[in-house]
């Protein structure tokens, strides 16, 4: 059984996720650790639970989701994996981080980019890739069918959706992907978003004001 632990990080209150199973292998998704205490919270959890990080994933490459990529590489030797369409987003971070008053240690680049469809795995856990741009140019979500949960990044939030006014964003693309690719998941599928509390597909289909 795959377990999930979330950590709220950085000034943007971004959700970082660690997924792990009985093999003790784990996957880190969107490491947004910024302060020393945030870094310690994540690394202490990994150490105290005797986990072995084997996979680093980014749903997309906005600054708040990649701040910890370099730390994960330095500690565990993992390079991030994301869709190649997010490369220009990542490349722009060093230029605008200082404008936002933020320190940024540049992320390593992937050895392997993720496709639009398919899956990635660690331990006994498989994550299905769901390509859902609209907030960013090549955003991916990660769905675990066995556990019936989605790590959704900044696509769908409880009662809201991701911003579409960033470069590469588009409202029609975003809402279309939510309808066609996320709302087709089971209604009781738990959605773990990039910001804010968890929700379910069924709740959002019934209550999200963008789809009423």
23 contacts 124 by C-beta, under 8 angstroms: yes
Task: Find the domain containing 168 and state its range.
Answer: 3-211
What kind and span of H or E run contains 43? helix 36-48
How far apart are the C-alpha atoms of 114 and 96, rounded to whole Å? 25
Per-run averaged pLDDT (10 residues), the chain, 212 residues: 98 98 98 98 98 98 98 98 98 94 96 98 98 98 98 98 96 98 98 98 98 88
Burial-class residue 159 by CB neighbours within 10 Å (0-12, 13-18, 19+).
Answer: middle
* pTM of structure: 0.98
pLDDT of residue 112: 95
pLDDT of residue 85: 98
CATH of the domain at 181: 3.60.15.10
116 contacts 129 by C-beta, under 8 angstroms: yes
What does each C-alpha distance from 148 to 8, 152, 200 come to in angstroms?
Answer: 22, 13, 10
Question: Which residues in 34-65 are b (16+ Cβ under 10 Å) and which e?
Answer: beeebbeebbeebeeeebebbbbbbbbbbbbb
How far apart are the C-alpha atoms of 180 and 199, rounded to whole Å? 18
Structural domain total, the chain:
1
Question: Which residues in 21-30 are b (16+ Cβ under 10 Å) and which e?
Answer: beeebbbbbb
How far apart are the C-alpha atoms of 127 and 96, rounded to whole Å? 32
Nearest to residue 82, comparing CAs of 119, 52, 56? 56
């Amino acid at each position: 059984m795959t377990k999930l632990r979330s950590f709220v990080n950085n000034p943007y209150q971004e959700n970082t996720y660690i997924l792990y199973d009985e093999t003790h292998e784990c996957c880190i998704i969107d490491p947004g650790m910024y302060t020393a205490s945030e870094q310690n919270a994540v690394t202490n959890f990994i150490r105290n639970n005797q986990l072995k990080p084997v996979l680093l994933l980014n749903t997309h490459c906005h600054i708040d989701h990649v701040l910890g990529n370099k730390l994960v590489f330095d500690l565990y030797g993992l390079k991030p994996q994301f869709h190649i369409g997010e490369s220009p987003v990542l490349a722009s971070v060093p230029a605008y981080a200082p404008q936002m008053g933020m320190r940024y240690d540049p992320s390593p680049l992937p050895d392997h980019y993720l496709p639009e469809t398919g899956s990635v795995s660690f331990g006994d856990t498989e994550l299905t890739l769901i390509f859902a741009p609209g907030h960013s140019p090549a955003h991916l979500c990660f769905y675990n069918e066995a556990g019936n949960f989605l790590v959704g990044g900044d696509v769908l939030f409880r009662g809201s959706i991701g911003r579409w006014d960033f470069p590469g964003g588009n409202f029609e693309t975003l809402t279309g992907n939510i309808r066609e690719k996320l709302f087709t998941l089971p209604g009781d599928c738990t959605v773990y978003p990039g910001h804010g509390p968890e929700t379910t597909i069924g709740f959002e289909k019934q209550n999200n004001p963008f789809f009423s």
